Amino acid sequence: MNKQSKSRGRRGIEWTDYTWNPIGGCKHGCRWQMPDGTIAECYAETVAERVATSAYPHGFEHHYWRPDVLQEPLQLRTPARIFLDSMSDLMGNWVPADQIEQVLGVCREARWHSFQLLTKNAPRLLKFSFPSNVWIGVSAPPSMMMGKQLTRELQERMVKKQLEVLRQIRVPVRWMSIEPLSFDIAPLLVGSPLEWAVIGAATNGSTTYQPQREWVENVLRVLDAQNTPVFFKGNLDWPHSRWREDAPTGEQKLRLDILQPAQSRL
């Protein structure tokens, strides 16, 4: 597993402690149109095809199964937040169900950790049963997926579907990554079942594009009204009101649930 820097900066994943990638590669082909018209590709794709090429010899669109790293969370005894799949989408339709079950089996066994799953293929979530220490998250839609342009209407439909799926899932933390916040998503979040949300700016290489201030304010207004904690990514430039790095509402209860049986055995 790779340890993540917790410092607030313009790169990295500040909302987790480790990344764990028992699978790699992704066929979703996400692309984001930046405000200046440039197109950004998925950061994982850039890493796989330009930096970690030896681990991705068949390119990023190939599916890699890495059973050699499957046991890693069990070897880490200190409870941690672990981002499950920073280099793929575990719920991708191409990922064999038995591999997903093996990954979830390790999560179930490593009950002292919190595993942060994030997907752009929410409907497949309904085919699995998740241990309570797996946080189930959905990502806001990109501008393009699998070579197809996502119009605003399609993006909104996708968000509605994602939230509908989350409503049917019973885990202590259901969350959404809104990175980048690229349109006024707030109206779609009214009444959402989220226990946590992450908001970030758009990036393309070293260039960062800030969301409109009112988009952030609207999201905060909606989520604050329903007591959904918010975490700001370090790439967000936000001098306007309190900086947010809130933990999910379900996390503390989850920790108590996990610790309780262990304590009662003492």
Residue closer to ligand SF4, measured from CB, 29 or 79: 29
Number of helices and strands in the chain (H, E): 7, 16
CB of 88 to ligand SF4, least distance (A): 6
CB of 46 to ligand SF4, least distance (A): 10
CB of 2 to ligand SF4, least distance (A): 15
State the CB neighbour count (10 A cutoff) for residue 123: 13
Residues 6+ apart with CB under 8 A from 257: 132, 172
- DSSP 3-state assignment of 3? strand
Q: What are the structure tokens assigned to 132, written together?
A: 């309570």
Residue closer to ligand SF4, measured from CB, 26 or 201: 26
Residue closer to ligand SF4, measured from CB, 88 or 162: 88
Tell me the CA distances in angstroms from 171 to 85, 94, 97, 159, one per residue in order.
19, 24, 20, 19
212/181 Cα distance (integer angstroms) = 9
Q: Does 233 bind ligand SF4 (CB under 6 A)?
A: no
Binding residue (CB under 6 A) for ligand SF4 from 13, 23, 30, 199: 30
90/149 Cα distance (integer angstroms) = 23
Number of residues that bind ligand SF4 (CB under 6 A): 10
29/94 Cα distance (integer angstroms) = 13
CB of 224 to ligand SF4, least distance (A): 28
179/233 Cα distance (integer angstroms) = 8
Q: Does 88 bind ligand SF4 (CB under 6 A)?
A: yes
CB of 197 to ligand SF4, least distance (A): 17
CB of 41 to ligand SF4, least distance (A): 8
- Tracing tokens 């997903």 back to the chain, one arrives at 100
User: Considering only residues 167-226, where is the footprint of ligand SF4 by CB under 6 A?
Assistant: none
Q: Does 120 bind ligand SF4 (CB under 6 A)?
A: yes
User: Considering only residues 33-62, where is the footprint of ligand SF4 by CB under 6 A?
Assistant: 42, 44-45
Tell me which residues touch ligand SF4 (CB under 6 A). Answer: 26, 28-30, 42, 44-45, 88-89, 120
